[in-house]
Structure 1
Amino acid sequence: MTTLENRTGTALLVIDVQNGVVAQAYDRDAVLGRIATLVTRARQEDVPVVWVQHQAPDEGLVPGEDGWQIVPEVGFHDDEARVDKRFGDSFEDTPLESVLADRGVGHLVVTGAQSDACIRSTIHGAFTRGYDVTLVSDAHTTEDLTQWGAPEPAQVVAHTNLYWSFQTAPGRTAAVVPSDEVAFAAP
């Protein structure tokens, strides 16, 4: 029940599943496999798939270079919408809002990396902009940042799922569901 008028559609948002982002990701292969399955399902159900790619030259994410490329395992098609970003929130200083508006989208099903950075920023950014947001509990990941004081990656993913399941706001819904329970219909 999005607060965005005449925006009843759903999109699958795939964030930063790039070679340089997920190379050392927790549970990488399983997470990418679930994302690939969701991408296939979305296409079969005529649900738009929107790809987000982070640009950060100091992190090896230079457009066109290998680290910046979307990993082949998830089945990227270059005829689908792709949004370049430079900040954690995929909406910040990008055309994502207009891409979604053009498709009548008011509900986002969110997957990708990293749970404690761009996923977290984007789900909050979407929610505050009026979107219903479903986080796919087993289709987002992060790398091991324990040497800088972060919890183990499994705990980061679990905590992100936990706190998102309690988000509330007037006229919007937040949900956390496993990939095999994703419904591409608006809540």
Structure 2
Amino acid sequence: MDESLEGTKTALVIINMQNGVMEYCVHPKKVISRIQDLLARARDTGTPVYWVQDEREFERHSTPWRMVAALEPLDGEHRIHKSYRDAFTGTGLHASLIAGDVGRLVVCGAQSDYSLRTTAGRAAAMGYDVTVVRDAHTTGASTFEGQSLTGDQIIAHTNAYFASLDYPNQDFSLERSEEVGFRPVVLND
């Protein structure tokens, strides 16, 4: 692992949980509920939270652009506005994670096959340890070149991809939301 990525903290990364995205996703209530639980546990332990928001498709501050009502960022939590599937491209995400001593990302959210997979895969390639929350990401059905996949098939394929991800000297996991652990953050005096 690159020395600059040997951070000691974990961060929760919540991707694209926006009104305009969620209206096309499968199992929205279940996924929102699981992310609410992850968020509560992260906040209780002082784990940094990063909200990733897509600005390519929605006008800023419009109803579709806003996060779903059940998931609201608090003041002081990180807001990442992206224009590409990869939340690292053209944003300050990497610099913010490095400055915050973050070395492990717990990733959940929407657009399993696009933004979540691209961001988590990029994080792994950059040297971060990555946990994908297998039951806290969602997407909608998709058709490409005459082949149709349901949202559930895409979620299963995304989970299969991360179940076998491997880079030297890094930890990767695919965990159910109730299995994800956050250690309390200890502040140095």
Q: Give the TM-score taking structure 1 as reference length.
A: 0.91
Q: Secondary structure at 2:165's aligned position in 1? A: coil
Structure 2 unmatched runs, 5+: 184-189
Residues 2 and 171 in structure 1, CA contact (< 8 A), matched pair in contact too: no
CA distance in 1, matches of 2:152, 2:141: 9
Cα distance change of structure 1 residues 164 and 6 upon mapping to structure 2, 3 Å threshold: closer
Structure 1 unmatched runs, 5+: none
Between the aligned residues of both structures, percent identity stands at: 38
- String of CA shifts for 1:57-91, please: whole Å, max 9, x gaps: xx3x1111111111111232243110100000100
The 5 Å alignment of 1:78-89 reads 78-89=75-86
Of residues 157, 164, 167, the one that matches 2:165 is: 167
Cα distance change of structure 1 residues 5 and 68 upon mapping to structure 2, 3 Å threshold: closer
CA distance in 2, matches of 1:94, 1:158: 29
Partner residue in 2 for 1:64:
61
Q: Which runs of 4+ in 1 moved over 3 A?
A: 1-6
The 5 Å alignment of 1:102-113 reads 102-113=99-110
Partner residue in 1 for 2:130:
133
Cα distance change of structure 1 residues 7 and 28 upon mapping to structure 2, 3 Å threshold: same
Count of residue pairs brought into register by the alignment: 182
Deviation for aligned residue 1:149: 2.8
Cα distance change of structure 1 residues 76 and 22 upon mapping to structure 2, 3 Å threshold: same
Instruction: Give the AA of the match of 2:28.
Output: R
2:38 pairs with 1:38: yes
Cα RMSD of the aligned pairs, angstroms, is 1.7
Of residues 162, 175, 184, the one that matches 1:177 is: 175
Q: Give the TM-score taking structure 2 as reference length.
A: 0.91
